[in-house]
Structure 1
């Protein structure tokens, strides 16, 4: 039996000093957790992807709010940070922090990669910030949103994060208007098994 949504978390229990798995909120054939892949060009920056198997939890991450709050609240600007880069890609010499990269205006899509800068909310770091917002009818189901709100005067691009297929890989990317958002749940990094 797959992991129960009852084991996922609501915002009143999510803290920035803990690690979590970010997995698909829809059990079954909708894929697993988030991980890293060797980039669309085979090199750096690394792409943030969703594992194709729903039994894979992926890599743990931490959520760091822009205002250094001690709990994570809905619609708060966050840095999403993997603790380490994918093994074998240490030569990338970049922080394993999510950012929007390689935005293609003609396609209206920007892929999510690593290489962002921790903290320092401002115009120069707009691409490094994401939010989790309640999404759908499933309990503890969220969508990832890129729409920084800490800088009212900044020109920004707002979009939900979805899945874009590239050479069979499920890459996280800013969702096109006709594509669904990636529905996710948070699972504590201390849980040992996908099964309950």
Structure 2
């Protein structure tokens, strides 16, 4: 017993130290395509690591006008995406991974629509279209609660790429799990959902 107790204490110390180190390193500054830190509440464009396919806000799905608007991936290689603001509830200078954020599409030049432009998931546990990302929620609500996570196996290790998760419980309600955001084809349109496909890998591009 005299030898066992010190061993147990040492093991507990190692576990505690490892957990502390993991939680510290998991929260890091988010960086853009040039390696600079991404600023909180400043416009950025986002798109895949390879050229083309940037994200834009649209008022038309399957040739029908929609309100609120929807973020979609433009398949054109030379497409210029819309500008989005990634904002943390607590005022900070730079975005951090694994922190609660809201994503605002900002004022739009699209047709008039009185809904807000915060990215929103009506029901993360439902099937499409209810679990597709649209807009219309308020800042810091469960339906607009996201976090940015470093992509686990980057396409290009030299580029800072990320994935997006919807975490309603982080903002006070909903299931206690986070949902990876992936591409979902909706009437030929590349939209985003919580349907458990391969997480969408993206990069920040400074406007």
Normalization by structure 1: what TM-score? 0.75
Contact 1:36 1:86 in 2 (8 A): no
Distance 1:87 1:105 in 2: 29
Query: Match of 1:15?
Result: 39
Say whether 1:57 aligns with 2:80. Answer: yes
Root-mean-square deviation (CA), in Å? 2.6
Aligned partners of 1:22 and 1:57 also within 8 Å: no
Map 1:1-196 to 2 at 5 A.
8-10=33-35, 13-25=37-49, 27=50, 31-38=52-59, 40=61, 42-88=65-111, 90=112, 92-101=113-122, 105-106=126-127, 110-118=131-139, 121=140, 125-135=141-151, 136-137=153-154, 138=156, 139-148=159-168, 150-151=170-171, 154-156=173-175, 158-174=178-194, 176-177=195-196, 179-189=197-207
Alpha-carbon contact 1:77-1:148 (below 8 Å) kept: no
CA contact (8 A) 2:32 2:38 kept: no
| SS of alignment partner, residue 138 of structure 2 | coil
Moved >3 Å (runs of 4+):
39-42, 106-109, 148-151
- Structure 1 spans left out of the alignment, 5+ residues: 1-5, 190-196
Q: Specify the SS of the correspondent of 1:127.
A: helix
Q: 1:83 Cα shift?
A: 2.0
- Deviation string 1:152-186 (CA, Å, 9 cap, x unpaired) is x6332521111111111101111x23x21110000
As a proportion of its length, which structure holds more helix? 2
Greater relative contact order, per chain length (Cα 8 Å cut-off, separation 6+): 1
Residues matched between the structures, number: 170
Distance in 2 between residues matched to 1:23 and 1:66, nearest whole Å: 24
Over residues 24-78 of structure 1, what are the superposed CA-to-partner deviations in whole Å (9 max), with x where a residue is unaligned?
12x15xx511112236563212121111113213101111102222210011111
1:86 & 1:111 partners in 2: Cα distance? 23
